[in-house]
Structure 1
Amino acid sequence: MTLPLIIIGPADDISREAKGRSWHNFEFKRGFRSDFLAKVHILITHRHVIWVNFIDVTDLVNPGIDESSLSVWLQENVAQSMPPYDYQLVDGGRSNLSYIVSDSTGSKFLLRRPPVSHVLASAHDMKREYRVMEALRDTLVPVPAMYAFCSDEAVNGAPFYVMEYVEGFVLRDKKSVEDAGLDVAERKKCSSNLVQVLANLHQVDYVAVHLDNFGKPGGYIARQVARWNKQFLAMCEPSEEPYGVINAIYEKLEKNIPRETKTTIVHGDFRLDNTVVSKDGEVKAVLDWELSTLGDPLADLALLLVYWVEKDSGNPLLVPSPSAMEGFYTKAEVVESYVKLTGQDVSNLDFYVAFSYYKLACILQGVLTRYRLGARAGDSSGAEGFAKQIVLLADMATEALDKSLNTRD
């Protein structure tokens, strides 16, 4: 039976060569989701006829996934996995991309790679993420099991790694807490366990786990302030609104860096929604180690506080946060618990809070620039308000820094 002509592809990007071809000669572009193709084949098999004309399937493309070559690599490098594979982009990521990969047996694992475009040379080091989690696997810090790392960019356009998919809940907002079924007592347990995990991380002997060359002991904040200034300047034009205010904060931070008290492994982006939590509030895995290194543990604690929203305190980050719900710790309780567990001096904590706001402003500027240049994979929600949010973060950094300097005086 002769099939009708078929034209499938993004409506604004259908090649002239594709027009007029019959089904058996038509080749799909790489990147279309396998479940969409399966539905098309089913229609042909059972109804014997299909006509698809100028359908816009742009949203069905999986950016960052080369299914044909990945399928071969996964079968060879991920034990007991079986093709075909399905890829689901995880919502919520604004930097490195994570995909839940399901194979033909129903097994799941996670693939993580850099953004699909506009990547700074010093950012998105997949090997570092893989290495730190592999090093922490036998410590008191819960991390997913690492399965395989690929440095060959010919496989998927960039280095990537594959790790265990940890079942549980990522608590991003009030609804996610309700979906997890966490009651008030379990939210308190979650808060306590989260701080305990952070304390455990900072007490890991980085030499014993072979991470002594993972960063430079001492001088962490000075290097970080300079690094984020460099990243910001690479992503922001002098004519843009945040340019002047962020540079002013950079200069003030640089001149007032406190003396560091110790060096530990730091996560670099430690917050509740970078963990997987069980239904009873236990932290099962810490994720997103993109910014990890050796550094000052107060930087991790300060960033956790920046993301930790309290009831009736407003939300300067303008992002959902479940920590304002009844049962979660207050900021004071987070600090008190951490100090009790570690004995850490927190007298200069306000400076680190200021640095955390500054760092987030620089990161968000990079995210905004990538979206403007067309890198759309990942969470693009709120992208239009990023510029305003960057200025707000700068204001919060200035306020915390002034508080820190006044306390010193």
Structure 2
Amino acid sequence: MTARPTAADLPTAVVPVLREEFPDARSARVSNWTASPRGLATETFLFDLERDDAEQVSLVLRRPPEVALFPDYDLLRQVLVMRRLAGTGLPVPAVRWLDRGTEALGSPYFVMDRIEGCAPGDLPSYHSAGLYFDAEPAEREKMWWGCVDTIAEIHQLDWRTLNLDFLAFPQFGTKPLEQIVGYVGAALDWASTTAPPALRRAVDWLRANSYEPDQVTLCWGDARMSNILYDTEFRVVGVLDWEISYIGDHEADLAWMLFLDWACSEFQGTERLPGTPTRQQTIARYEERSGMKVRNLRYNEILAAALLSIPLLRMAHRLQLPPEVDVTAFCVQRIEQLLAED
């Protein structure tokens, strides 16, 4: 097994791999290497491949973090999703290759083409800095609707025809909600023995209030503007980060987007920017574009908060944060608000 290169050593370590994988690349050089802050569950690096007498290629390398943030983390899962979505019209990155071994770079990794575009950030909130903050109200509305329309487009795909059934969790039950709630419960046990009690209450409530979804669809899993690349006209040109995609209730992605917008605004005491559609406008737009009704948003928002807490708990462990620093505070607060509606 090859030792895992540090982030600083990786630009040098990857050159022999590139020379092997690309034709006529004996002169391959790496330039413009940048670590991306995108995503919690995967380390992401942007770079350009330069060769003599060949056009420059813009690429992305992704590898697992040293401490896994999900119990079933597997690069193959997200690579298969992107490859099977490649012919759908959804703008997902093209994967060049996946190496599941450890001989080349000390850990599994994959390389994909880079899509040129910009994304709003979450830290700091897109309501207080970055692409969304700097945009005009009409441009913000366009970005927001672009995200909603992307969610609707994903949900209209036939996941069975696309052979995405491997995204189910049959070990936790036979029904989609039973499966994802079972996964969240088991993952919380794996992530932390001292998780806030509200997270356990959320799982108990989800189990007690389960229902049959109107539609079972491919769920993006991390549905938010920060996982979308926009061009200079604020059109969607890239849909990223499929690590936690699964088969479930179509409402889950919309709930995830709205929950994170709440976290980026009300939770932080930040005003939502002009041009940002309301919650009700968002629901209406989604129903119009997807042809699917929204009936269980509260349930799915509780599910979103519980699911997101898993990588946050693991991240706190990885960073060895002191007990008084609760990175799941916004998840807990939203769960407590929603459970109080009973």
TM range (shorter): 0.7 to 0.9
Unaligned 5+ runs, structure 1: 1-28, 32-60, 373-382
Match of 1:85 in 2: 30
- In structure 2, relative to structure 1, the CA distance for the partners of 1:78 and 1:194 (3 Å cut) is farther
Matched residue count = 326
Cα 1:271–1:384, aligned 2, differ >3 Å: closer, same or farther? farther
Question: Are the counterparts in 2 of residues 231 and 366 from structure 1 also a CA contact under 8 Å?
Answer: no
SS of the counterpart of 2:130?
Answer: helix
**3-state SS, counterpart of residue 226 of structure 2:** helix
Pick the structure with more strand per residue.
Answer: 2
CA contact (8 A) 2:154 2:218 kept: yes
**Counterpart-to-counterpart distance in 1, 2:312 and 2:87:** 34
Query: In the alignment, which of 142, 145, 156 is matched to residue 94 of structure 2?
Result: 145
Q: 1:204 and 1:283, CA in 2 relative to 1: closer, same or farther beyond 3 A?
A: same
User: What do residues 210-258 of structure 1 show as CA deviations (whole Å, max 9, x unaligned)?
Assistant: 3244426962222222222222222323xx4x44332222222211112
Structure with greater Cα Rg: 1
- Tell whether 2:32 aligns with 1:76: no
Does structure 2 retain, via aligned residues, the 8 Å contact 1:64–1:115? no
1:285 — aligned with what?
238
Kindly state the Cα deviation for residue 159 of structure 1 after the two structures are TM-superposed: 1.7
2:49 aligns to what? 103
Counterpart secondary structure, 2:34: strand
**Residues 134 and 145 of structure 1 are in contact (CA less than 8 Å); yes or no, is this contact kept in structure 2?**
yes
* Residue 366 of structure 1, CA deviation: 1.5
Amino acid at match of 1:232: L
What CA distance in whole angstroms lies between the structure 1 residues aligned with 2:146 and 2:324? 32
Whole-angstrom distance in 1 between the partners of 2:85 and 2:269: 30
After the TM superposition, which of the residue ranges 300-309 and 227-236 deviates more from structure 2? 227-236
SS of aligned partner of 1:107: strand
Matching residue of 2:80: 131
* Structure 2 match to 1:112: 62
Corresponding position of 1:166:
115
Map 1:2-401; keep pairs closer than 5 Å. Answer: 31=5, 62=7, 65=10, 67-68=12-13, 70-78=14-22, 83-86=28-31, 87-105=33-51, 106-118=56-68, 121-123=71-73, 125-172=74-121, 173=126, 174-177=128-131, 182-215=135-168, 219-237=175-193, 240=194, 242-309=195-262, 314-316=265-267, 318=268, 324-372=272-320, 387-401=325-339
Q: Offset at 1:73? A: 2.0
Q: Quote the RMSD (CA, aligned, Å).
A: 2.9
Identity %: 21
Structure 1 position 343, deviation (Å): 2.6
Conservation of the 8 A alpha-carbon contact between 1:170 and 1:275: yes
CA-to-aligned-CA distance 1:86-106 (integer Å, 9 cap, x gap): 442112432211101222355
2-structure distance, mates of 1:188, 1:219 = 36
1:369–1:196 CA distance, 2 compared to 1 (3 A): same
Cα distance in 1 between the residues matched to 2:111 and 2:40: 19
Asked whether the 8 Å contact 1:99–1:112 carries over to 2, the reply is yes
Per the TM alignment, residue 65 of structure 1 is displaced from its structure 2 partner at its CA by 3.2
C-alpha deviation, 1:169, in angstroms: 0.7
Distance 1:203 1:112 in 2: 28
Contact 2:43 2:64 in 1 (8 A): yes
Higher relative contact order (CA 8 A, sep 6+): 2
1:261 and 1:109, CA in 2 relative to 1: closer, same or farther beyond 3 A?
same
Shift of 1:78: 4.1
> What TM-score results when the alignment is normalised by the length of structure 2?
0.85
Structure 2 CA distance for aligned equivalents of residues 196 and 30 of structure 1? 40
Residue by residue over 1:125-182, the C-alpha shift from the partner in whole angstroms, topping out at 9 and shown as x without a partner, is 1111111111111213221122111112221222211111111111112432268x63
Q: Which amino acid aligns with 1:396?
A: R
In structure 2, distance between residues paired with 1:178 and 1:353: 23
Contact kept in structure 1, 2:70 and 2:310, CA below 8 Å = no
> Matched residues in 2 for 1:177 and 1:330: separation?
19
Contact residue 365 and residue 386 of structure 1 kept, 8 A: no
Q: Is the 8 A contact 1:365 1:387 kept in 2?
A: no
Measure the CA separation in 1 of the matches of 2:140 and 2:59. 27
